[in-house]
Structure 1
């Protein structure tokens, strides 16, 4: 079986299953009240998006029969499907192009298996246009769901260290061999493999009809996700490995690109990354490269190890991203930024992007300082919002670690959370850090 991702006129995902014995639910589950928001309906831009009206039993591209909806996002729904033929399809979107580039690398790098790329793709036509469909090997669940299976939603430290090691190996391949920046590292984009083949088979056999409702405006039937693959076989957790997924926002730095804006051939300029994980060079408009992923990954370790966010004040009372508060918290944890980073920010702000970009407030912006609400520092390099700097230190943020592990972790994290991107360690260098070594 494979996951199929049904994208809006942007994209769609499928997880694929080959075995014909897996059957569809016989009918729809209990109806969902019309006023209840279901899955993708909760996205802020749902009304402006055009999701494909997928239904269980539907066969797409004369090849994939939809079985069960297993995921959703702001741009796509994800369905488990079975392969009923053997047709091939043409490449067609940025995500597919990036994944083709990754799979096309002639490399024996061990990190290749940590990057989840699609096996096939095709287009379907819905009421509001074409939808790109990408086909993948099925995975058990994202890392945030796996965490819920443990006490206090925390992975045991030896398991977490193993996963961090695997992910760094994957990032090393992505950066050093593929010359790609992921730009969107988060728990939802880290997927766990099945611990054994029977788990997926049993999931399909016990499926009940999916609950659904009909959207009055579009007439589209919306199904509730079935994402519970059952209890984890604890003795076989050693067989599970994480994979980095979703390259829809990734950027190649091996050649000029118009997708995210480039300076020369090795530096991106347009805003990237989820709010909590955004690197300082992105906010300050200094240009970014692979080291933005390293910052992102460093911040993500608080989620992996402690099931918590490192940064606590990245959004204002209206829920909008607040760059000045985010920078203030960075200053609290890391000290003030070096003058050379601020000088680069000032120099880059004098050059507009090739195309303006609209920010969250609806303003059309020509550079990063406009986009994020700068400037943040005065002519002397002093922060303009000292009242926002909290009384926190990096040492205060890791109560989830035992005392004996804290010093090693802090040295590990300080190789990633550094103002100057060029001083951050690479993924390959981080793999050898003592923190990741398991005690005998």
Structure 2
């Protein structure tokens, strides 16, 4: 049974560091040229030099394709934009940061790689494994506070809109980079390697869950793949139907407020979408290009649109 998460969040003292570990070549398989590693796999890599030291990281390797190459460049640029905000703003630490980026050569060209600090479960996974099905109140309040601080930094310091705030993109970190969960993960993989299969010369592995941290860090907002510039108005669809804001449904241009809508929609206690909605302001409805599909001229919701 997982210990109450609120106890971990309130535990501010750092854990004692684990002793240095030795990694023998025969215990690990070398990454082949062009082989893909999914971001959720946690590795220990040795970066030789006088500045970088050995530590645990999350490594994201992009697939080589025209569309994903553009996606990789976009995500890297968004990380750079986030570094341009004020270093004094507390929201910087509430966002996932990029440790380093580099490219590797594969059989079909270069691939972009992003290195981040490792994270544990996201909020959705925690809710799924928590028997109560919801966050304890202290954890919920701490998470919302961190989330709004992160968005304030993105909006006001960097002029960026996240557009994809959801329970899957809020993840909990580790207090210590040498948390015992990493050593346990490595040892378990040595004792019982993950099942794998070879497809076209490349290995595909079954993901292995990273165990419960000894010291859980504060939540951070992740995933910059859908971030857009906040200095211009947007009209394109960016949300699944079930999460769409009134502006998007009515065909109205949207901006920073879309992130706040997504935060509100994350509430886990709502039994249904019907309970969540109230009538939008008439001024907002009047601006909508698709208003006749959903509302009468008096702003009354059309039941037929709900059934369709």
TM-score normalised by L of structure 2: 0.72
The correspondence of residues 234-383 of structure 1 with structure 2, limited to 5 A, is 236-237=215-216, 240-254=217-231, 265=232, 267-302=233-268, 306=269, 310-311=272-273, 329=274, 333-346=276-289, 376-377=293-294, 380=297
1:171 and 2:137 matched: no
Question: Cα offset for 1:297?
Answer: 0.5
Deviation of 1:125 after TM superposition, in Å, equals: 4.2
Counterpart position of 2:141: 161
- The answer as to 2:188 corresponding to 1:206 is yes
Question: Structure 1's 162 and 335: CA in aligned 2 closer, same or farther, altered over 3 A?
Answer: closer
Deviation at 1:226, TM superposition (A): 1.5
Q: What's 1:57 paired with?
A: 30
RCO greater where, 1 or 2, for CA within 8 Å and sep 6 or more? 2
Q: Provide the aligned C-alpha RMSD in A.
A: 3.5
Name the CA distance, whole Å, in 1 between partners of 2:219 and 2:243.
20
Partner of 1:181: 161
Matched, 1:93 2:73: yes
Secondary structure of 1:297's aligned partner = helix
Displacement of 1:130 after TM fit? 4.1
In structure 1, C-alpha distance between the alignment counterparts of 2:162 and 2:25, rounded to whole Å: 35
Secondary structure of 2:104's match? strand
Gaps of 5+ in 1: 1-18, 28-55, 72-77, 255-264, 312-328, 347-368, 391-440
Q: Secondary structure at the match of 1:135?
A: strand
Query: Are the counterparts in 2 of residues 299 and 310 from structure 1 also a CA contact under 8 Å?
Result: no
| Structure 2: tracts of 5 or more residues without a match | 1-19, 53-69
1:383, CA displacement in angstroms?
6.3
Q: Does 2:235 match 1:224?
A: no
- Structure 2 equivalent of residue 190 of structure 1: 170
